[in-house]
Copies of this chain bind each other. A is one copy, B any other.
């Protein structure tokens, strides 16, 4: 398809917008979906090893929420954790006109106390593949998460077709508790819990000692004599009818791990990323980072007389975690029959290049669904990601500031003008990019812990350029950054150090895809642009749970004076306890 010229593109965009509004305006058909959730600890055996999980109505992960664009979701949360609070974020939902429902404890609400009930109510205004998960301390690690699928309304065509769809939620899993992990990270010296023991696909995995691999001839090998403990569920099963095409809505809510997902013998066509249609890309395997979602089309076009592995592998960190295996079973086969092939091993964990290349190839919008990017930014923040030693503790910092959540949620303190409830001094807009050496850890004592906020002009166009460096161990990690309250255009993934004069010209202003989560690759940079048009206070953070816990986040405020009356239910902590 030849590139549309600019006026045509603008026209297409306007049409898209009108279609979108038309879809929303069918309000007679918009539904309200009520869910009632008990949040409680339960002993679970997700990877065949029993440990506590924070569950929703007894399950981890929780149920997939299904809705149609324009519907309203109402979730009544009963906290039954006994002594621990909670808060639930609706990842990818922009919460337009409901910023108090974003579920980020310390940013948009006080925690939900044990014995208390909190109701989230929000509109899902865009079709796409989203999530929900705890957003409080490191509680997400304990398994409080799930998927949220918003379908396009009937009669609104998507730029691809398929016969059926499935959700594929990818997670990682530790045998130690969140508390052991979090306290270790906050200790001096840092005490790392280590790599996760298992990966999970739709909440199921098998810790390596209990894996029963099969030789290619289908006979069990010697390792098969380790009996699986009680409660050890069989692998997740995806059934397929030969010849049909399946849309897999694949999402990652890992706490640490970057992943590679693949289905043995089947290519995948990537068609959606974080709720936006991408220019279709055929891949053998999908690299996916925590907080990202993709829809891939898979055609059941292989030998239907056998089953196939669907595998999730760790990449970007040394692979000390058991890969997760699901089974793709063609109809008619024994659905429990293991594939005749050995468990796949996945790509080399430390090969960065294919990951960067796939990120770039997926950063292009579907030609019929290009949303025009504002041609220039009103403000650009150049955000240096560093690992610092601050006051004896290992922290992550952005331009030298490691975020500490205040005890009064920003949304309350900023809307109500509570002086001193957060650090009023704004964080730095940039860093000394000319002389800074990103190949070296930051100088000692370079960093502070603060609850500072970037205040954005309502409606302004903002560029965020994330600059990676090496951590204190001289390695450079992959950080998936997630923006609350907005989607952004992905303008570029660059290598090395970003140079504003040189690299701004490389931004894709023609057909960038929009997303809400984007990878910052090792020793590279990533540039995104968004419009600060959603009154509220919004977190932007690395989606690795340990990293945001260690301060790898910034906070944006825009138009907080335009936010409607705050519900009393988000208050009750810090200085919001005694507000009239």
Contacts and interface: CB of A to CB of B under 8 A. Distances in A.
A498 B221 CA distance: 66
A43 B187 contact: yes
A52 interface: yes
Given A115-B407, A137-B82, A182-B82, A568 B573 contact: no
A244 interface: no
Contacts of A406: 115
Interface in A157-188: 177-180, 182-184, 187
Contacts of A184: 43
A183 B137 contact: no
B568 A578 contact: yes
Contacts of A572: 113, 572-573, 577
Contact of A83 (B52, B136, B574): B136
A285 interface: no
A115 B573 contact: yes
A40 to B, nearest CB: 8
A574 B116 contact: yes
Contact of A84 (B52, B84, B574, B577): B84
A191 interface: yes
Contacts of A86: 83
B82 A83 contact: no
Interface string A122-149: 0000000000000011110000000000
A111 B111 contact: no
Contacts of A183: 41-43, 52
A114 B111 contact: yes
B41 A407 contact: no
A136 B85 CA distance: 13
Contacts of A110: 113
Nearest to A115: B407
Contacts of A568: 577-578
Contacts of A85: 83-85, 113-114
Nearest to A573: B113
A552 to B, nearest CB: 16
A187 B407 CA distance: 33
A389 B164 CA distance: 46
Interface in A554-580: 568-569, 571-574, 577-578
Contacts of A573: 113, 115-116, 572
A163 B110 CA distance: 53
A574 B43 contact: no
Interface string A182-208: 111001000100000000000000000
Contacts of A191: 43
Contacts of A178: 83
A83 B110 CA distance: 11
A469 B58 CA distance: 34
Nearest to A86: B83
A113 B111 contact: yes
B114 A179 contact: no
Contacts of A177: 177, 179
Contacts of A179: 41, 52, 177, 179
A83 B139 contact: yes
Interface centre among A85, A106, A177, A569 (most CB of B within 10 A): A85
A191 B230 CA distance: 15
A103 to B, nearest CB: 14
A107 B138 CA distance: 29
Interface string A100-121: 0000001000110111100000
Interface centre among A82, A116, A137 (most CB of B within 10 A): A82
Interface string A382-421: 0000000000000000000000011100000000000000
4 A-B pairs with the lowest CB-CB distances in the bound complex, closest first: A115-B407, A83-B137, A82-B137, A41-B183
7 contacts: A43-B183, A52-B180, A83-B111, A83-B137, A84-B84, A177-B179, A179-B179
Interface of A: 41-43, 52, 82-86, 106, 110-111, 113-116, 136-139, 177-180, 182-184, 187, 191, 405-407, 568-569, 571-574, 577-578
